Amino acid sequence: MTTTHEAVAAAERCTPEFRRDPHAVYAHLRDSAPVCPMRPPHGNETYLVTRYDDARAALSDPRLSKDMYGAMDAYRRIFGDSSVALDDNMLNSDAPKHTRLRRLVNSAFTPRRVEALRPRIEEIVRDLLDECPARERFDLLPAFAFPLPIIVICDLLGVPPEDRTRMQHLSTTVAQTGFGEEAKRAQQQAEEGLHAYFTDLLTAKRERPGDDLLSALIAARDNDGGLTESELVSTAFLLMFAGHKTTAYLIGNAVHHLLSHPAQLRAVREDPELIRAAVEELVRYDGSVESATFRYATEDVEYGGTLIPKGALVQIAISSANRDPRKFDAPDELDVRRPGNAQDAHLGFGHGSHYCLGAPLARLETQLALTRLFERFPRMALADPAGAPRWLEVPFPAFRGLAELPVVLDPAG
Ligand code: HEM
């Protein structure tokens, strides 16, 4: 990688080389153009922020709005028309609307409420591992990493078990589309499918409420006027969407990196208490959300000596911030005993008022998944230890995750 221009182009096109090692590109950008205008199709209207201090400040800067509707003109100029039917939620709003929407679901995700889910998560992990083949090579992602968070979030929301596969399929289509016409059509169809699904499910729950989060939200809507019908459907979608892929990819990345760093895995095995710190380090080292969702400049803003003009979109590269040597010593090393890697040191779950609502749940799921997997299969290994991992090829901004994770749980001999 030689020029800034090439670095930005690689990030935008998300070339296989970039997927394999985005960190070399980010290192270049942090040093040469830490707040960098991106090229078409983004135009000069999107700025990429790559240093830790800038990223942390930008994530909580009130001048950088998350209001999807306020930013609609900028979105349309850059991405064309897009449906916002599912976007009327906390992630796409500023205070006071953001505060109101987040408060309604916040209580379901407090550390205490999440801790109460521990026995059920343990049970799901055990059942999934029971089904995995011990001696054969198989892909851990569809067998374990994906079903775990899908089952947990569907249970929590009250989505019936028979609909889980459909949910997974539709939200995968929504997440994995690019700029092409065909991709856009598929995305729109999937969004319409999810909208229709949640509208019907909410109607059914209004008639027969259950002991679940969606029924509680309906009560908030109907009794207190807590949220509009559009906000209700969009909140259901956000929780489903944000609640599973992120965690599934993190579990996959974490298993891959621990199996590739035997000394780190040994440390976690020898000291089970270390699992909490290890998960934080794994989120820092190679978390599943590569870039925060867009912000939109409501006025001219200066970052790192670069002017971001009013109306521009801002993209914050979380993966880059988490490897910034200005913040972390030896950032490219995985160190589960890294001193001071507290939960809020890295930006893997964001920062500020939009800090990940589901972080306590994601942490618990990942801690239990890794602990039980390595405890039960102490000889587990990558099926292709010498082969390069295959990373997802999705447009930027995107999730950071593996396309497959072939392993053998209990190799013979
Ligand atoms: C927001 C990461 C799991 C629900 C965010 C943000 C990040 C993030 C970076 C901030 C986005 C921004 O500011 O643009 C992750 C990662 C996860 C994970 C890495 C797993 C490893 C979950 C889970 C849920 C969840 C399990 C549960 C339902 C949310 C919601 C928001 C959010 C609702 C929006 C919060 C707001 O706007 O106030 N997440 N997330 N996430 N996350 Fe997560």
Q: What pLDDT, in 10s, does the model give residues 148-165? A: 999 999 999 999 999 999
- pLDDT for 183 equals 75
Instruction: Answer yes or no: are the C-beta atoms of 174 and 229 closer than 8 Å.
Output: no
User: Does residue 354 line the site of ligand 1, with CB under 6 A?
Assistant: yes
C-alpha distances in angstroms, 277 versus 262, 284, 339, 340, 371?
17, 11, 9, 10, 13
Q: What is the mean pLDDT of residues 69-84?
A: 61
What's the CA-to-centroid distance between 396 and ligand 1, angstroms?
17
How would you classify the pairing of strands 301-303 and 137-139? unpaired
SS3 222: helix
The answer to which of 127-141, 177-191, 294-308, 373-387 has the lowest mean pLDDT is 177-191
What's the CA-to-centroid distance between 99 and ligand 1, angstroms?
15
Q: Which two tokens stand for residue 378?
A: 């102490």
- pLDDT for 256 equals 98
Per-residue pLDDT reduced to its tens digit, 242-257: 888 899 999 999 999 9
- pLDDT for 293 equals 86
Asked whether residue 174 is domain-assigned, the answer is yes
What's the CA-to-centroid distance between 400 and ligand 1, angstroms?
14
Ligand 1 atom closest to 89 (CA): 37
CATH number of the domain residue 76 falls in: 1.10.630.10
Asked whether residue 11 is domain-assigned, the answer is yes
Position 395 pLDDT exceeds 80: no
Task: Kindly provide the ipTM of the predicted complex, given to two decimals.
Answer: 0.99
Ligand 1 atom closest to 92 (CA): 37
The number of domains in the chain is 1
Domain that holds residue 47: 4-408
With the CA atoms of 134, 259, 23 and 47 taken in that order, what torsion angle do they form, in degrees rounded to the nearest 10? Answer: 50
Supply the residue whose CA is at minimum distance from atom 39 of ligand 1: 356
User: Does residue 243 line the site of ligand 1, with CB under 6 A?
Assistant: yes
Asked whether residue 120 is domain-assigned, the answer is yes
Cα–Cα distance measured from residue 18 to residue 149, given in angstroms and rounded to the nearest whole number? 28
User: Does residue 49 line the site of ligand 1, with CB under 6 A?
Assistant: no
Higher per-residue pLDDT: 11 or 118: 118
CB atoms < 10 A from the CB of 329, how many? 10
What's the CA-to-centroid distance between 43 and ligand 1, angstroms?
28
Give, for ligand 1, the residue of 97, 117, 235, 356 to mutate: max count of ligand atoms closer than 8 Å to Cβ: 356
User: Does residue 362 line the site of ligand 1, with CB under 6 A?
Assistant: yes
Position 43 pLDDT exceeds 70: no
- pLDDT for 120 equals 97
Asked whether residue 249 is domain-assigned, the answer is yes
User: Does residue 236 line the site of ligand 1, with CB under 6 A?
Assistant: no
The answer to which of 62-76, 121-135, 162-176 has the lowest mean pLDDT is 62-76
When pLDDT is cut at 50, 70 and 90, the band that residue 78 belongs to is low
What's the CA-to-centroid distance between 241 and ligand 1, angstroms?
10
Position 104 pLDDT exceeds 70: yes
Cα–Cα distance measured from residue 369 to residue 134, given in angstroms and rounded to the nearest whole number? 16
Q: What is the mean pLDDT of residues 38-62?
A: 84
DSSP percent split of the chain into helix, strand, coil, nearest 5? 55, 10, 35
Residues of the chain with pLDDT > 70, as a percent, come to 87
When pLDDT is cut at 50, 70 and 90, the band that residue 396 belongs to is low
Asked whether residue 413 is domain-assigned, the answer is no
- pLDDT for 224 equals 67
When pLDDT is cut at 50, 70 and 90, the band that residue 384 belongs to is very high
Q: What is the mean pLDDT of residues 312-332?
A: 95
Highest mean pLDDT among 57-71, 120-134, 174-188, 213-227 belongs to 120-134
Give, for ligand 1, the residue of 86, 246, 250, 364 to mutate: max count of ligand atoms closer than 8 Å to Cβ: 246
Cα–Cα distance measured from residue 314 to residue 73, given in angstroms and rounded to the nearest whole number? 14
Asked whether residue 58 is domain-assigned, the answer is yes
- Burial of 330 per CB tally in 10 Å (0-12, 13-18, 19+): exposed
User: Does residue 242 line the site of ligand 1, with CB under 6 A?
Assistant: yes
Supply the residue whose CA is at minimum distance from atom 12 of ligand 1: 292
The answer to which of 83-92, 152-161, 331-340 has the lowest mean pLDDT is 83-92
Closest CA to 230 of 69, 392, 18: 69
